[in-house]
Amino acid sequence: MECIRSILLAASLLLTGCGTAPAQEAPAELTAKDVLDAYVQAAQVYDWFDLRSLPTGSEAVEADGEIYYPVESSDITSLADLEARVRECFAPELADALLSGDSGYREIDGRLFSAGGARGQNIYLLAKTMDATQSDRDHWTVTVTFWADFLDEAVQDDGHSHTVATTGYSQSVLDYARTEDGWRFTSFCSSDGLDLDTETVYTIDYYQDFEVTGAWRDYSDWKLVCYLIYADGAYAEAPFDLLYQRFLERPEDILDALALLDNTPYRQKGPPINIDTVVAGPGYSAAWRSPDEQAQFEAVLETCRPRSKAAQAVLEKIRAAYESMTADMASSQISPEQEFALGPLTAEETDFSGNQPLPGMLQLGMQDGAYPWGYEQLTAVPQTCEGSDFGQSWTAEQDGLALQYFTADDGHDYLVALLTTDPALSTPRGVRCGDSAAAVQEAYPEDLTEQDADTLPTVSLLPLPDCDSAWVYHPTPGFCRIFFCMKEDTVTAIQAVNGIDG
């Protein structure tokens, strides 16, 4: 009997639904994309109250002394529709604040109207970026980063207009919480909520900070990076050097500051901004340093430890810039043979590996073919002369340019001297007639000596013109020299000569 009673009780429980219910499927967890999509929808709704109203028609209606315009929206036609949309996005306290009596919306004759208007967007705002992170099972945070960008000019004490730029960023952190009604934002901000007063946004007066106060030297790392966004010319060189020095001293800190700039909306701005120049700045600076300084820089590249993937990406960009720049500089360096040349002189394309000149230059040494060796500007008729132990000597003289060469027994022509008084022609380092002695010394900081005119040797069949003195560039070992003839501190003639045949 007891057994029968137990069976009947079990059957009764099943029939009345008191047994164990089937397991319910748990709701899917949110992803970062879900949260960011929710932010975009909520921002649109928030803007209807803060930035601009819902779209309206142009037919104005007066009510209680105020002017209203009919809302033109297919899915929001009443206050109830508007309230429902607001409460789908925001927690009750925030929704109540938006829907308060001064929301700007009301119903007239059963239709939704708005006071209309727009307050105008923040002109200092370039763009915003968003990131979503889960705090715990019931909370996500959305970090909205507002990027500042405003370029202006101001007339300074020197009477000229100089750049004043606002750059940097501010952030708002929003809470997205699980509520009884579902996921809702419990805090929010304007879609153009850039805070110009935050410590990471700067308005930089380039003339004042660079020329007058020198404040740039004491900038924080991030402010220095922001300064470089719009820096150019004289305002850029020393600050880029400061960035390089700080990279040597605190590479991880500088990588973090540069990583903030990399992949920001500034990258889409285009000229005059070049974000890659700033981000890879330490690499470009290092390429111009001495071998010892480059060795120090390379050691920092190997020993620094980036704190994030973004910082690691910046380190690789710095390394790539350094390697690319040093390779380009090595390929464009003037070889010892190429130093002794004048140009520009247009020549036919040649491939004479024994004496390959720089493009547009006529260079001492063996030439390709017969005179004028493909140089269309050489129009003088060569004249035979004595003076070479290596073959038949020739000179050719025309306005502003004279040259001496010989034809060897092997049939090749060898150029042994060039003389010019033409300011249009220069050495490979850019010195030309009309330049000052200071310009010569700057271009040739080594292997340069000054000689009085009466001590100058005769080294070719092309006599030097009357001069007070000459600066002589003579790298050793070697027989080649360049004479910069000076009169009243001005270059009046330039002669490149191979003294072995003088």
179-238 per-position pLDDT tens digit: 999 999 999 999 999 999 999 999 999 999 999 999 999 999 999 999 999 998 778 889
| pLDDT given at position 17 | 41
**380 with 399: CB under 8 angstroms?**
no
Write down the domain spans for the chain. 53-114, 125-331, 338-501
The rounded distance, in Å, linking the Cα atoms of 69 and 57 is 6
Closest CA relative to residue 347, chosen from 363, 333, 365: 363
Please report the DSSP string for 303-345 in residue order. H---SSHHHHHHHHHHHHHHHHHHHHHHHHSPPTGGGSEEB--
Beta-sheet pairing, 490-498 with 413-420 = antiparallel
- Dihedral angle, C-alpha 276, 277, 283, 286, nearest 10 °: 180
What is the pLDDT at residue 23? 45
The three-state DSSP-derived secondary structure of 178-231 is EECCEEEECCCCCCCCCCCCCCCEEEEEHHHHHHHCCHHHHCCHHHHHHHHHHC
pLDDT at 1: 39
Please name the residues in contact with 277: beta carbons below 8 A apart, sequence gap of 6 or more.
284
The pLDDT of residue 502: 42
* Residue 500: per-residue pLDDT: 58
pTM: 0.65
Query: What helix, strand, coil percent values describe the chain, rounded to 5?
Result: 35, 30, 40
Predicted local distance difference test score (pLDDT) of residue 450: 94
- Please give the Cα distance from 460 to 493 (Å, whole number): 14
Report CA Rg, the chain.
39
Helix (H) or strand (E) run with residue 164 in it: strand 161-179
Residue 87, pLDDT score: 97
Residues of the chain with pLDDT under 50: 1-26, 350-354, 501-502
Residue-level pLDDT at 273:
81
Give 500's DSSP letter.
G
pLDDT of residue 123: 95
User: How confident is the model at residue 83, as a pLDDT?
Assistant: 96
Dmax (CA) for the chain in angstroms is 144
In angstroms, the CA 43 to CA 45 distance is 5
